[in-house]
Amino acid sequence: QVQLVESGGGLVQTGGSLRLSCAASGRTFSHIMGWFRQAPGKEREFVAAIRWIGGSTYYSDSVKGRFTISRDNAGNTVYLQMNSLKPEDTAVYYCAGRNHPTLRSEWQQYNYWGQGTQVTVSS
């Protein structure tokens, strides 16, 4: 099993920045780590993903150019740097792990999930 713990959420004004962290632990290796978000009344939405080995990244169009996903292999931590935040970025953000090595954006393709961290962007 893999345990994922997110941190770093909070309240920020439009145009501001936040950095989310996801600490991974456990005995099973996840090839892909992703960030998803879910706003009230909406479907869970893909944000970004990264491959542990090699560092290939993949972003949704809505965050490309504003968000950056990265990983610290030594610390087993994945980050999501969020810049130029907008009110529509407000959501609970989830870290997820996928056992298969292909990059995917569908939340159903991920095996492990954190508890989520709230991000609120005020206008």
Predicted confidence (pLDDT) per residue in 80-112, tens digit: 999 999 999 999 999 999 999 899 999 999 999
Task: Report residue 30's pLDDT band, with 50, 70 and 90 as the boundaries.
Answer: confident
| Rounded Cα–Cα distance for residues 104 and 89 (Å) | 21
Q: Which two tokens stand for residue 12?
A: 């920020």
pLDDT at 28 over 70: no
Predicted confidence (pLDDT) per residue in 38-80, tens digit: 999 999 999 999 998 888 999 999 999 999 999 997 768 999 9
